[in-house]
Amino acid sequence: MKIYDFVGAPNPKKLRVYLAEKGISIPTEPVNIVSGENRQPEFLKKNPLGGLPVLELDDGTHLTESLAIMEYLEELHPTPALLGANPRERARVRELERIAELGVLMAVGTYFQNTHPFMAGRLKQSPDAAENAKTRLTGNLKVLDAAIGNKKFVAGDRPSIADCTLFAALEFAQFAEAPVDPSCKNVARWYGAFKERPSASA
């Protein structure tokens, strides 16, 4: 197997954190998003949408969504369980991971697209879209703040894919200069603690 990767993008970061938490080592090959390497015909054969990461399987086929890649690897390497150890845990982990992905990471992405100078020449930016993204980001972070409470990790007392996704989202928020509501103190506490884990530097 091989992973096509790009340091600096949130979805590849999410997968690298997951692999580090699992203790799984898979060879990687960098694909430069900034130069448009992911839009070249050779890479589009691997992922027609041009996104990263991509997992190339031993038979030459590809998995192109980070969540699908993590679930596939979880089936191959069930210990430690980062998707939960029983049906209820798995449901809770997936619930919180989806909020982190669809509610936080996507809102940060929209804010970045509509405010950052890097994107100015690539698409039409909208102040209204940026403001709406800011509102969604705050709302979803408050939901996660309540869910985390005084727990050590997002979904309980052990790390999960929800931690991997939220960490990547907040790292991207820092880069994008997206506003993270300071009232989300549980998120801030969790983020500071997770930064100290070896996986955070993956």
Cα(26)–Cα(107) distance, integer angstroms: 30
Same domain assignment for residues 60 and 108: no
Classify residue 82: in a domain, yes or no.
Answer: no
Classify residue 81: in a domain, yes or no.
Answer: no
Same domain assignment for residues 50 and 96: no
Radius of gyration of the chain from Cα atoms?
17
Count of domains forming the chain: 2
Same domain assignment for residues 45 and 107: no
Cα(202)–Cα(198) distance, integer angstroms: 7
Q: Is 64 in contact with 43 (CB distance < 8 Å)? A: no
Is the predicted pLDDT of residue 42 greater than 80, yes or no?
yes
Confidence band, pLDDT 50/70/90 cuts, at residue 45: very high
Q: What is the pLDDT of residue 117?
A: 85
Q: Print the domain residue range for 194.
A: 87-201
What is the pTM assigned to this prediction?
Answer: 0.96
Is the predicted pLDDT of residue 122 greater than 90, yes or no?
no
Maximum Cα interatomic distance, the chain, rounded to a whole number of Å: 49
Q: Coil, helix or strand for 65?
A: coil
Structure-token pair, residue 143: 């939901």
